[in-house]
Amino acid sequence: MTAVGIDAIELWSGKLRLDLAETFAPVKGEDPGKYTKGIGIEYSSLPDVYEDIVTMGANAAKQLMDRKGLTPEDIGRIDVATESAFDNSKPVSTYIAGCLEQVYDGDFHHANKGERKFACLSGTQCLDDAYNWIRAGRNRGRAALVIATDTALYERGDPGEATQGAGAVAMLIDEEPDIVALSTEQGYGSADETDFLKPNQQFPSVDGKRSIQVYLARMREALEDYESVAGDTHPEDFVYFPFHTPYPGMVRKAALLGYRHITRDTEIEDALADDIGMQPREENYETREDYEEAIRAYMDELKGTRQYQEWYEQAIEPTIQVSGQVGNWYTASVHLARLSALRAAASEDVDLAGEKMLVGSYGSGAQAEIHAETVRDGWREGVEGLDVDAQLADRYDLSFEEYELVHDVHNHQKEVEVEEFTQPEGEFVFTGWGRMNERRYEYVE
């Protein structure tokens, strides 16, 4: 069967940054360690006044098309994933196509465009749609452009404010891809939940503590569902485990639970037994409460074992490096985690071709999805050319007063005039509103 998967990746970060330890923590009266160690984010990327989900998505897509030497005719679909849309009817993909048509010969008139919604999961659902479209033989030899783009802003003072972020990831989905091939096997964990939602409002209503429990419960269901079709998973089957990363602290919790699950009934559980005992089995406990308490005690011990820590350093830590520098990019976050791991491997000169990753996506509301990806021969070239370090280093460092202005500029309820902090160059920018309240964009040389 022809491999189908991700042939190219590019990202575009918001051009401003908020330093959580130096700038945010003192104003909040919090210990900086809460953000850098507990939550795990050093900086949030934020959009400059001329940036939004369209400019960031279009800029990432243009970088991708330029690097791959593509023309509009090579693209048969443009799917955008976002939970920051500003229009309930016109999809962001039409705006992005309009931007790209300003700079390329030809057009996207015969490309199918859409917008997917399921909180942070929808980027992965767009990959599914592209995969299925290609597998069904409906692509006429063309590739799909998937763009996950978000301005993840919270109400000022909401606990989520510490996890904000803004940026886009563009991915090209094609046959015989250069970076990873997607597995046909998938697992789902899905339930009607009220953990994070935006009922016709810009900033989310969040039950942060509950969202942690829902994330873990749905991921576990998805893993069990994945194993029911792909067979049991073992830590050594996968080189990395990129998970949806609302903030690295969340992934730390998921990783520990996941490790317990995938080491149960393996030689690793046996090897750990002398030090921390065997994993609790529910049938050995009289009540559910007793069983859950035993699980918590086992997990506390497991966290401190050499085996777990080595696995975490090698299989999880590389996936959260970029997230810790940019914050939550919602729909793009799991795709940043994959990219983060591939970049870490490239910088350490690890040979990944043929290795597998287990990718866990999650969207509040809530649904988790788990699938495997096989790294392809062209992965190194595919990630080495990216300008991630330069983009992150070039961000303008905001003072707290400037951050307050930036938050207001992007608040749909407010009208404030603020000077831009950076100078746009070789990129799409937002220029204002048209007569039907549409947003307008142009390319700045």
Q: Is 378 in the site for ligand COA (CB under 6 A)?
A: no
Residue 44 CA to residue 206 CA, distance in Å, equals 19
The CA distance from 190 to 178, in Å, is 31
Residue 211 as a binder of ligand COA (CB under 6 A): the answer is yes
Binding of residue 403 to ligand COA (CB under 6 A):
no
162 binds ligand COA (CB under 6 A): yes
> H helices of 279-332, where?
288-303, 306-311, 323-326
Of 144 and 152, which CB lies nearer to ligand COA in the complex structure? Answer: 152
- In sequence order, which residues have a C-beta less than 8 Å from that of residue 382 and are 6 or more positions away? 7, 8, 9, 178, 179, 342
Cα Rg of the chain (Å, integer): 22
Catalytic residue among 244, 335, 371, 407: 244
# residues contacting ligand COA (CB under 6 A): 21
Q: How many beta carbons lie within 10 A of that of residue 440, not counting itself?
A: 13
189 part of the interface to ligand COA, by CB under 6 A: no
Q: ∠ at Cα 225 (220, 229), nearest 5°? A: 145
Among 203, 215, 240, 259, binds ligand COA (CB under 6 A): 215
CA dist 242 and 404 (Å) reads 33
Q: Is 301 helix (H, G, I), strand (E, B) or coil?
A: helix
Binding residue (CB under 6 A) for ligand COA from 250, 302, 316, 332: 250
Of 87-95, 210-218, 280-288, 390-398, which segment contacts ligand COA by CB under 6 A?
210-218
Please answer whether residues 331 and 149 qualify as being in contact, where contact means their C-beta atoms are separated by less than 8 angstroms.
yes
**Interface with ligand COA includes 208 (CB under 6 A)?**
yes
Question: Is residue 407 annotated as part of the catalytic site, yes or no?
Answer: no
C-beta of 250: minimal distance to ligand COA in Å?
5
Q: How far apart are CA 30 and CA 321, in angstroms?
A: 23
- Cβ-based nearer residue to ligand COA, 33 or 231: 33
Contact with ligand COA (CB under 6 A) among 28, 34, 68, 220: 34
The interface region with ligand COA, picked from 43-51, 157-165, 182-190, 423-431 by CB under 6 A, is: 157-165
Among 249, 360, 365, 382, binds ligand COA (CB under 6 A): 249
Residue carrying the six token digits 């996968």: 238
> Catalytic annotation on 10?
no
Tokens representing 417 are 């005039």
83 is catalytic: yes
Give the residue carrying structure tokens 């070789």. Answer: 426
Q: Which residues bind ligand COA (CB under 6 A)?
A: 31, 33-34, 37-39, 159-160, 162-163, 206, 208-209, 211-212, 215, 246-247, 249-250, 364
Question: Which residues are known to be catalytic?
Answer: 83, 120, 244
